[in-house]
């Protein structure tokens, strides 16, 4: 049976209190789609206010530290996100893997910390353009996933395949390439977790828009999307949610 789709927005470093009405508009409309889970991963500074503004709607963070607490200036623990009312968090986004030099081992520790704190976790992986052009994308991303996966899965673990060259560029892999990658990632999840690996949602991310969402969602083993730029406005995001709601 197909997994229920998850459409999550990643607001990255966007969002001030003036944007709370936009979040409320997204949450209000999203609640009418019973067969799709919808979430917004916001800057840490907005989480608590957003949770108060849209009770019951899934608000998430974009990163957590792997430790519960300690001398880590500027970092946020998974418990802190939970305490602010977050339901989930992204870990291992390529922007952090690149700019903050996060390793697979660190991403794995972050994913485990998030799950242990009761957060849903969206674990990101994806290849560079060089790797895609070398023909080694599946091999490299599979190895990245194997090294980043938490030791044990939980119901609220999801994986997001985000080719780095597709993020914010308007470029999207062919549906054939997305399908090939998601099938390989599914095999990896089943190898790691047995049958439970079939229930781990595999999202696609990278230039998802209203115009391409339906064909991406129709690919086998695409269980939703992680959406950047097109998640900032209800008018752009809600058609993507609507496309996920079509069986
Ligand atoms: O990085 C992304 C989501 O995490 C994708 O960003 P865009 O949808 O803006 O390409």
The Cα angle at residue 127 between residues 93 and 146, in degrees rounded to 5: 75
Tell me how far apart the alpha carbons of residues 84 and 86 are, in angstroms, rounded to a whole number: 6
Active site residue 106: no
In the residue annotation, 215 being an active-site residue is answered as: no
Nearest CA, atom 6, ligand 1 = 228
Close Cβ partners of 74 (under 8 Å, ≥ 6 residues apart): none
- 245 exposed, middle or buried (CB, 10 Å; 0-12, 13-18, 19+)? middle
| The CATH number of domain 5-80+94-114+130-231 is 1.25.40.10 | no
pLDDT value, residue 154: 83
Residue 207 Cβ inside 6 Å of ligand 1? The answer reads yes
Question: Is residue 226 lining ligand 1, measured as CB closer than 6 Å?
Answer: yes
Tell me which residue has its CA closest to atom 8 in ligand 1. 228
- The one-character DSSP state at 4 is P
Atom 7 of ligand 1, nearest CA residue? 228
Check 65, 127, 162, 182 and give the catalytic one.
162
Residue 164: CB within 6 Å of ligand 1? no
Specify the pLDDT at position 44.
Answer: 97
Structure tokens given for 70: 């300690």
Q: Ligand 1 mean position to 193 CA, how many Å?
A: 28
Q: Give residue 134 CA to ligand 1 midpoint distance, Å.
A: 23
| Closest ligand 1 atom, residue 169 Cα | 10
Maximum alpha-carbon separation in the chain: 48
Q: How far apart are CA 211 and CA 131, in angstroms?
A: 27
Q: What is the pLDDT of residue 155?
A: 86
pLDDT of residue 153: 84
β-partners of residue 122 are 90, 158
Q: Is 148 in the pocket of ligand 1 (CB under 6 A)?
A: no
**C-alpha neighbours within 13 Å on the C-beta side of residue 42:** 26
Q: Which atom of ligand 1 is nearest to the CA of 227?
A: 8
Is residue 174 classed as helix, strand or coil in its secondary structure?
A: coil
* Span from the CA of 70 to the centroid of ligand 1 (angstroms): 31
ipTM of this predicted complex?
0.99
pLDDT means per 10 residues in the chain (247 residues)?
94 98 97 95 98 97 98 98 98 96 98 98 98 98 98 92 98 98 98 96 98 98 98 98 93
Closest C-alpha to 3, from 169, 182, 175, 143: 182
Closest CA to 9 of 202, 240, 247, 217: 240
**pTM for the predicted model, two decimal places:** 0.98
């Amino acid at each position: 049976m197909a997994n229920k789709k998850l459409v999550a927005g990643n607001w990255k470093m966007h969002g001030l209190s003036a944007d709370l009405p936009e979040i409320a508009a997204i949450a209000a409309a999203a609640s009418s789609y019973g067969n799709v889970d919808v979430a917004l991963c916001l800057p840490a500074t907005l989480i608590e206010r957003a949770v108060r503004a849209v009770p019951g709607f899934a608000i998430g963070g974009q990163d957590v530290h792997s430790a519960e607490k300690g001398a880590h200036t500027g970092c946020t623990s998974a418990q802190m996100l939970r305490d602010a009312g977050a339901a989930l968090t992204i870990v291992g986004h390529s922007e952090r893997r690149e700019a903050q030099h996060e390793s697979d081992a660190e991403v794995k520790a972050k994913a485990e910390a998030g799950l242990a704190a009761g957060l849903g976790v969206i674990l990101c992986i994806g290849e560079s353009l060089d790797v895609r052009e070398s023909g080694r994308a599946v091999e490299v991303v599979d190895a990245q996933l194997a090294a980043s996966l938490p030791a044990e899965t939980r119901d609220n673990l999801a994986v997001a395949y985000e080719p780095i060259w597709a993020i914010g560029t308007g470029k999207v892999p062919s549906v054939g390439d997305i399908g090939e990658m998601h099938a390989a990632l599914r095999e990896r999840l089943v190898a790691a977790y047995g049958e439970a690996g079939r229930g781990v949602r595999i999202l696609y991310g990278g230039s998802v828009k209203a115009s391409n969402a339906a064909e991406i969602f129709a690919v086998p083993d695409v269980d939703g999307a992680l959406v950047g730029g097109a998640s900032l406005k209800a008018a752009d995001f809600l058609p993507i949610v609507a496309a996920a709601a079509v069986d």
